[in-house]
Amino acid sequence: MNTLRNKVQLIGNLGNDPEIINLESSKTLAKFNIATNESYTNNKGEKITDTQWHNVVAWGKTAQIVEKYVTKGKEVAIEGKLTSRSYDDKDGNKRYITEVVCSELLMLGK
């Protein structure tokens, strides 16, 4: 059960092309976001679709696969863990972000 403590699995579509960063340490970082959709019927009988956006980061070989094969609109399945961090923006304000650190990626669809 320890492997289930911080595990995320999502299936969604990329909202934009991944941002690829090649670091001085010769590591590759890919940043992208995916949208997941959930549909339900409200009490008036209308179908409602709720879209959630998830920030994703991938490192190393996974990032290289993202760089080579994944583009805006593609459907992917990802597995990873949630991480939270803070940073100071250009105006000196503290910002917080939660990301999925992707360890596995599966390309779906066409």
> Model confidence over 16-36: pLDDT tens digits?
999 999 998 889 999 999 999
The whole-number pLDDT of residue 109 equals 77
Collapsed DSSP state (helix, strand, coil) of residue 15: coil
* CATH code assigned to 8-107: 2.40.50.140
How does the average pLDDT of the chain come out, rounded? 93
Rounded distance between C-alpha atoms, residue 88 and residue 75, angstroms: 32
Full-model pTM: 0.84
Percent of the chain residues past pLDDT 70, beyond the cut: 96
Domain definitions of the chain by residue range: 8-107
Rounded distance between C-alpha atoms, residue 49 and residue 40, angstroms: 7
79 touches 103 (CB < 8 A): yes
Chain position carrying tokens 């105006």: 91
